[in-house]
């Protein structure tokens, strides 16, 4: 393989990680906005304003790991997103879910695809 072909492959892989990182950040921002608006507090008396910034810091940390092409992190997050999708889908099928859960499903499946595309080099 010539040098130009190798550069194109490397650039394509880099682009997949970049898209996965920014997609992860954007889709989780949508998730946080939905959760902030519709979900009840996890601990009564504990304000949401304290909890969600901590989640945002975690998401920014994970986005940096994705953008730095840490494959283990990317694959782990892809599996977790897939499991979150399956858990939410099973809640919907059982009928025992919060009204916001159906809106989470597209976020989970898109995050799974973007991360899987980078981690396992899907098309």
Mean pLDDT of the chain: 89
Per-residue tokens: 86 = 């399956």
- Choose between 4 and 101: higher pLDDT: 101
Per-residue pLDDT tens over the stretch 82-120: 999 999 999 999 988 888 889 999 999 999 999 999 999
Q: pTM above the 0.75 mark? A: yes
Residue 5 has pLDDT above 80, yes or no: no
Cα angle 4, 9, 15 (rounded to 5 degrees) comes to 120
Backbone angles phi, psi at 122, to 5 degrees: -75, 160
The distance of Cα 93 from the centroid of its chain, to the nearest Å, equals 22
Average pLDDT of span 50-77: 92
Question: Percent of the chain beyond pLDDT 70?
Answer: 95
Average pLDDT of span 15-34: 94
Concatenated DSSP letters for 4-63? HHHHHHHHHHHHHHHHHHHHHHHHHHHHHHHHHHHSPPSSTTS-HHHHHHHHHHHHHHHH
């Amino acid at each position: 393989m010539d040098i130009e072909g190798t550069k194109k492959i490397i650039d394509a892989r880099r682009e997949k990680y970049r898209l996965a990182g920014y997609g992860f950040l954007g889709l989780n921002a949508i998730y946080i906005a939905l959760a902030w608006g519709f979900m009840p507090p996890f601990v009564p008396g504990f304000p949401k304003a304290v909890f969600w910034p901590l989640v945002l810091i975690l998401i920014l940390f994970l986005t940096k790991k994705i953008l730095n092409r840490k494959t283990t992190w990317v694959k782990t997050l892809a599996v977790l997103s897939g499991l979150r999708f399956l858990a939410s889908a099973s809640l919907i099928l059982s009928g025992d879910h919060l009204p916001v859960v159906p809106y989470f499903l597209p976020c989970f499946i898109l995050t799974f695809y973007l991360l899987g595309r980078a981690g396992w080099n899907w098309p």
